[in-house]
Amino acid sequence: MSTTSPKALGTPFSLVALRDSLSNLPAPLLRLMEALGNSEVATEETAESRGIEDDRIARDVQENRILSASEVEELVVAYAQGSSLNELARRFGVHRNTVDRHLAKAGASKRPLIKMGPEVLREAVEFYGQGLSVAKVGRKLGLSASTVYSTFVREGIKMRPRNGGRPSSSH
């Protein structure tokens, strides 16, 4: 069975064919279809040529950017000087996973991801000392209870016995 693209037949490209070929439509395609009026057939017109100014359509699709050797070197140096993965991703116009891969390839030692720095830890210990549960401390600081708990354990903070746990069965 041979398939011929709509373009080869001289017909405009069909969004239906594209839509039907994907099981999970990416958000940019959904917005483009919506912006084009969800028509069954879309010509080669671009969103811009149709006067559609929804920048979300183009914003979600990032062109694959390849860093030069000098950029990778600059990226590694900036990371060693304290820049975060997200800062470097924005600076070099790549995804944070791309930054991570370049760092790994260059043999750069990764810094641990610390969600609770010394100041936040001090606050957490203070709240916990006032009687708040680990979960309430986390909510107050915008962290998960597991982050607070694991940090307390790692830092050797003495934990109170749990009050909200299920009673043990005596059977």
- Could you tell me which of 139, 73, 80, 132 has the C-alpha nearest to residue 109? 80
Contacts (Cβ under 8 Å, ≥6 apart) of 103: 75, 76, 79, 110
Q: In terms of pTM, does the model score above 0.85?
A: no
pLDDT per position as a tens digit, 32-42: 777 776 544 44
The answer to whether 37 touches 61, Cβ cutoff 8 Å, is no
Nearest to 101 by CA among 114, 89, 112, 91: 89
- Banded pLDDT at 123 (limits 50, 70, 90): very high
Which ranges constitute the DSSP H helices of the chain?
A: 15-21, 27-35, 55-59, 69-80, 85-92, 96-105, 118-129, 134-141, 145-155
Provide the pLDDT for residue 168. 46
How confident is the model over 97-113, as a mean pLDDT? Answer: 89
Tens digits of residue pLDDT in 44-84: 445 455 555 555 555 555 557 789 999 999 999 999 998 88
